[in-house]
A = this chain, B = another copy of it.
Amino acid sequence: MDPTTRALAHHLDGRYGDVRTRVRQLLEDPLFAPTTGLPRDEHRARVAEQMAVLGERKLTPALGYPTAVGGQDDLGAGIAAFETLAFGSLSLLIKAGVQWGLFGGAILNLGTERHHERYLADVADLTLPGCFAMTEVGHGSDVQSLRTTATYDPADGTFVVHTPDEDAAKDYIGNAGRDGRAAVVFAQLITPDGEHGVHALVVPIRDDDMRPCPGVTLADDGPKAGLNGVDNGRITFDHVRVPREDLLDRFGAVEADGRYTSPIENPSRRFFTMLGTLVTGRTSIAGAAISATKVALAIAIRYGEVRRQFDADGDGREQALLDYQSHQTALLPALAKTYALHFAQEDLVDRLVKAFAGDDADARREVEPVAAGLKAVATWHAVRTIQACREACGGAGYLSVNRLPDLRADTDVFATFEGANTVLLQLVAKGLLTGYREEFSQLDTLGTARFAADQVVDTLLERLRGASLVQSLRSVMPSAKDDPGLRDRGWQVEMFTYREEHALETAAMRIRAGMEDHGDSFRAFNDVQNHVLYAARVHIENLVLQQMTAAVDRCADPDARAQLELLNDLYALSTIEEDRAWFLEHGRISPEQSKAITAEVEQLLAEVRPHARGLVDAFGIPEEAIAAPIALGDEARRQELRRQAQSGA
């Protein structure tokens, strides 16, 4: 690694370099080497073995648990460990996330000291493998409408957990298929007083002999697109009784006599506060998606440097794939965006750590939309980029031994779990439209429409009639003379910011107009849904740009910084290029400028290309995790081919 690459690597690693180094060392162990094509049971057995070692070395999200119960009170380190683990087996990653992040995290954040003492040490050391049983067959995104019930019976002081029908069965639940012994179950809480909305309880699901507990039915979900080392399954409850103490009662408790109490009176606010504590999961998945993208890019860019095809200029020497403009276009803007997302993720984790350290509900609520939006953008980026990497490696990219197929299949569901991306972007839009005002943050996600008649829109309209409209009017076709240059950082930020503000304001206006026209809130909202999602996405893109720019400024090494500057320009300009129709439609760029942006992106591709290898090396992915023969250099590749050929048919 040359000094510049080393400086980049150091800059990327940030404040959690130590824990990242320790996870990297773990990934060098043959036990953690990527495998492929294992039969389901072997695959699961291998992941179980890896889980045991991971738990032993304490390199898990449980680093965030209190020291008293085996953690280190270091949420940030827990996330960094998880992010780094994502360079390796993603089945292991998700299994670890279910156990220490979701199951343990729910007990930590929704339970009280009693639950922490009783459960967390067992969760941390894997004595108690568990599930996070939220999603049902009929309700995934709409958590408020879950239909599993937990009915308190004062007669014996227990909750009766029940699945009313198959649509209310808990489904896709990690650890439910084979290993889970307990589950945090989300259910509608019912007491003699009435219904209190969704709450969570710890429910045993398998006994000491790993048989389903009485009243519990467990089914394996069968083969999936990927992540087949994780035992997802379906859980149904037939009047299963659990002691009153196993309600996770930080935000809502039931006395022995059946009286319900809560520190948060408003049921909707209570619900969103409970869900909000789970923001760590989304943040972790965003980071993991970025790591998986890095692995795919490292494989494809390394292959693109050694694989040659066509003697295109007739001089007898074939061109490296990465010298072709179309190949650069497929990979290098994605590389730039991956860097930008990395720094946005770093900032998100910092904010999250601060919010949780201060137990600050408002700060947590402000982090929520950032985590939701970054999760959506980062996981879609992973899906697209890994696919591009697969195609860039041709037939070799289709062979499982070269890792891209599993990376692709394993990350696919990232766009769905921990919040479906479309729903998450609506959450972001809701936050933006309401300015995080409390009364609106209590609305359910799609209920956004219902507040349209409310004063928020008026407030926004006032803003629109004021400063922004003036700004809109001032915006004229930029002339070549005024042009500050496409690589001007101020101009780039201004473009992203204008787009965000304008998209948001016009979305609000359109919802309001729709309400006036139809008086039908679903239609008023639904007619503008694409626009609202767009507003959320460009908000996140702006945030990502700003974090990238800040990270470039922080970089002390001048050579590393120069490379980051190129990536910053490439991210900014390729994002504008992709959306140049919008800027043209809104008079922010002229047709000539629009073409100039495309030309500048192509120029940047040529400038980034010589650094491409160093830029993926700086991710610090252990060679043992890269693993793909096509990425391991010409000689190693040939040896691998020979080895395979010798293994015979």
A interface residues, Cβ below 8 angstroms from B:
36-37, 39-40, 135, 137-142, 145, 166-167, 169, 171-172, 176-178, 212, 217-226, 233-234, 236, 307-314, 318-319, 323-326, 329, 383, 387, 390-391, 394-395, 397-401, 404-405, 408-409, 412-413, 415-417, 420-422, 444-447, 449-450, 520-522, 525-530, 533, 580-581, 584-587, 591, 594-595, 602, 638, 641-642, 644-645, 647-649
Kindly report which residue of chain B lies nearest to residue A606, judged by CB atoms.
Answer: B527
Kindly report which residue of chain B lies nearest to residue A222, judged by CB atoms.
Answer: B401
Q: Contact at B447–A312, with CB atoms within 8 Å?
A: yes
Give the complex CA separation of A36 and B223 in angstroms: 7
Q: A37-B222, A398-B225, A591-B585 are in contact. Are A526 and B325 (CB under 8 A)?
A: yes
Q: Contact at B312–A217, with CB atoms within 8 Å?
A: no
Q: Contact at B594–A529, with CB atoms within 8 Å?
A: no
**Chain B hits for A307, CB < 8 A:** 138
**Chain B hits for A526, CB < 8 A:** 312, 323-325
Q: Contact at B145–A311, with CB atoms within 8 Å?
A: yes
Q: Contact at B649–A177, with CB atoms within 8 Å?
A: yes
A414 to chain B: closest CB distance in Å? 10
A490 to chain B: closest CB distance in Å? 24
Number of copies: 2
Q: Contact at B223–A141, with CB atoms within 8 Å?
A: no
Q: Contact at B420–A394, with CB atoms within 8 Å?
A: yes
Given contacts A135-B395, A234-B641, 6 further A-B contacts (CB under 8 A): A36-B222, A224-B398, A225-B409, A312-B526, A325-B528, A395-B413
Q: Contact at A310–B142, with CB atoms within 8 Å?
A: yes
**Chain B hits for A139, CB < 8 A:** 309
User: Which of A39, A167, A422, A450: most chain B Cβ within 10 A?
Assistant: A422
Q: A409-B405, A645-B219 are in contact. Are A314 and B521 (CB under 8 A)?
A: yes
**Chain B hits for A233, CB < 8 A:** 649
Q: Contact at A400–B135, with CB atoms within 8 Å?
A: no
A133 to chain B: closest CB distance in Å? 13
Give the complex CA separation of A314 and B524 in angstroms: 13
Q: A222-B401, A422-B326, A446-B310 are in contact. Are A581 and B594 (CB under 8 A)?
A: yes
A648: contacting residue among B171, B219, B647, CB under 8 A: B219
Q: Contact at A141–B310, with CB atoms within 8 Å?
A: yes
**Chain B hits for A224, CB < 8 A:** 398-400, 405
Kindly report which residue of chain B lies nearest to residue A309, judged by CB atoms.
Answer: B142
Kindly report which residue of chain B lies nearest to residue A225, judged by CB atoms.
Answer: B405
13 residue pairs A–B, Cβ–Cβ below 8 Å: A37-B223, A166-B645, A167-B638, A169-B645, A222-B399, A222-B644, A233-B649, A383-B387, A390-B412, A391-B420, A391-B421, A581-B594, A585-B591
**Chain B hits for A383, CB < 8 A:** 387
